[in-house]
Amino acid sequence: MYQHILVAVGPSFSEAALSTAIERARDSNARLTVLHVIDSSPWWAGWQADSLCDTPEIVNQFALTIRRNCEKILQSADMTAQWRTRTLPGSGRSIGRVIAGEADRLDCDLVVLGAGKSVFFDIGLNHVRNVVCRHTDREVLIASERSAMSAHASGSQNAPMHSYHA
């Protein structure tokens, strides 16, 4: 059984990861912490991220939208969670390392990540998952959109999930 579950949310995989984490936390009577790592220089801003005056505001609005969506999911599931945001440092640390570091710092038993949607050869999404697994000794569970939807629809906590150990 788990005592503390950390779920990492972001733009493309929040719902699957959060729904799965809610089910696991409810089944284990565990504390739930939601983590959003904010990239202040996102890839879509390109090399102009520092010179575009609207980039910080767009990033902040995007982060607020993600938080509101997560809070709606938590509220509809009647689940409370602690919310944490971390801004990706400019020192070259990756999102995966920040998630792994936070899991270790909070002494979480389980880290839940979303599998994400299929994108161009899964560039980026697999990288985050692999980095988290390499940099923490915590159990890492990868929640797919299909398994989260079937678990939510059937109320089953035995939906197929992928579990990786570092």
Beta partners for residue 38, in sequence order: 87
Stated pTM of the model: 0.77
Report the chain's mean pLDDT, rounded to a whole number.
Answer: 78
Helical residues (DSSP H) of the chain, grouped into ranges:
14-28, 55-76, 95-106, 125-135, 145-154
Residue 77 binned pLDDT confidence (cut-offs 50, 70, 90) = very high
pLDDT of 88 reads 80
Residue 32 binned pLDDT confidence (cut-offs 50, 70, 90) = very high
Average pLDDT over residues 100-127: 77
Residue 75 binned pLDDT confidence (cut-offs 50, 70, 90) = very high
Beta partners for residue 164, in sequence order: 140
The residue with tokens 């929040």 is 14
The b-or-e profile of 36-47 (16+ CB within 10 A means b, else e) is bbbbbeeeebee
Domains of the chain and CATH, by start = 4-165 (3.40.50.620)
Q: 41: which 2 tokens?
A: 């220089």
| Percentage of residues in the chain having pLDDT higher than 90 | 46
Of 46-50, 128-132, 138-142, the range with the lowest mean pLDDT is 46-50
pLDDT of 166 reads 39
**Number of alpha carbons in the 13 Å side-chain half-sphere of residue 148:** 21
